[in-house]
């Protein structure tokens, strides 16, 4: 089936990703997080309501601003928790199990947070991509963008546009292979963000490896 131009991109995967970030926060001990464990998921859930409302009302600017605020909150929370985790290592106040669980939760959070940023920022954001109907230019060169017109028609992809899962796959590859693997990065801002994501991923993996060696 061919996608229709100017279709509405489903937003629920992006919303679920941010809720998952709030849920992962519950895995952290309170000493490695700001406030109680339920605080972040509550803030996310509360802010999602006006974000969805603005989207349904066609208030695109308000929807974009609320989306940026929501993603910024989970980003700052992740960075602060990572700092607390690194600072806690030499103090030996947390059990090895808690440190391993916290590092794993932050590694997954890193993927979800940066996938959300790529989805929000690439080619003007999801609304701008919807209005164009077909994705031909952006910060990332997805494989579908390199197909010729005949190949796109044969595959039913002539109106293809990336969704949240495409950016999630990109973020997952960045955190595991430390590279985008399937699509080159074209924009400087995207290169910088992927460098930061890879650095955070490397730091958490290094913490996991160091703790695993100590436990063994």
Residue with tokens 């391993």, as numbered in its chain: 100
Residue span of the structural domain in which 168 resides: 12-215
Q: Is residue 198 part of a domain?
A: yes
Q: Quick check: is 53 in a domain?
A: yes
> Is residue 3 assigned to a domain?
no
Tell me the pLDDT of the chain averaged across its residues: 85
3-state secondary structure string, the chain?
CCCCCCCCCCCHHHHHHHHHHHHHHCCCCHHHCCCCCHHHHHHHHHHHHHHHHHHHCCCHHHHHHHHHHHHHHHHHHHHHHHHHHHHHCCCCCCCHHHHHHHHHHHHHHHHHHHHHHHHHHHHHCHHHHHHHCCCCCCCECCHHHHCCHHHHHHHCCCCCCCCHHHHHHHHHHHHHCCCCCCCCECCHHHHHHHHHHHHHHHHHHHHHHHHHHHHC
Instruction: Tell me the CB-side half-sphere exposure of residue 104, using CA atoms within 13 A.
Output: 10
Instruction: Give me the helix-helix angle, 60-88 and 12-25, nearest 10°.
Output: 30
pLDDT value of residue 209: 67
Q: Is 148 within the bounds of a domain?
A: yes
Per-residue confidence (pLDDT) for residue 215, from 0 to 100: 54
Residue 6 within any structural domain of the chain: no
Given a cut of 50, whether residue 188 has pLDDT beyond it is yes
Instruction: Give the number of domains in the chain.
Output: 1
Q: Which tens digits make up the pLDDT trace of 89-130?
A: 777 777 777 888 888 899 999 999 999 999 999 989 998 888
In a domain, 7, yes or no: no
23: pLDDT strictly greater than 60: yes
- Domain assignment of residue 4, yes or no: no
Average pLDDT over residues 145-157: 74
- Say whether pLDDT at 20 is over 50: yes
Q: Which residue has the higher pLDDT, 7 or 127?
A: 127
Determine the Cα–Cα distance for residues 148 and 203; give it in Å rounded to an integer: 40
**Does residue 87 fall inside a structural domain?**
yes
Global model pTM greater than 0.85:
yes
């Amino acid at each position: 089936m061919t996608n229709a131009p100017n279709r509405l991109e489903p937003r629920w995967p992006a919303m679920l990703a941010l809720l998952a970030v709030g849920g992962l926060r519950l895995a952290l001990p309170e000493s490695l997080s700001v406030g109680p464990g339920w605080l972040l998921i509550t803030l996310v859930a509360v802010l999602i309501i006006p974000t969805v409302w603005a989207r349904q009302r066609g208030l695109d600017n308000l929807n974009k601003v609320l989306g940026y605020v929501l993603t910024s909150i989970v980003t700052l929370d992740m960075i602060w928790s990572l700092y607390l985790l690194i600072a806690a290592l030499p103090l030996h106040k947390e059990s090895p199990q808690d440190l391993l669980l916290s590092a794993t939760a932050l590694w997954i959070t890193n993927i979800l947070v940066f996938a959300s940023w790529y989805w929000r920022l690439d080619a003007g954001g999801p609304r701008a991509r919807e209005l164009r109907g077909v994705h031909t230019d952006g910060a990332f060169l997805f494989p579908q963008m390199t197909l010729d017109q005949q190949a796109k028609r044969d595959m039913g992809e002539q109106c293809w546009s990336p969704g949240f899962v495409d950016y999630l796959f990109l973020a997952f590859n960045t955190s595991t292979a430390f590279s985008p693997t399937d699509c080159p990065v074209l924009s400087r801002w995207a290169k910088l963000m992927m460098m930061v994501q890879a650095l955070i991923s490397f730091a958490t993996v290094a913490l996991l490896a160091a703790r695993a060696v100590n436990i063994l």
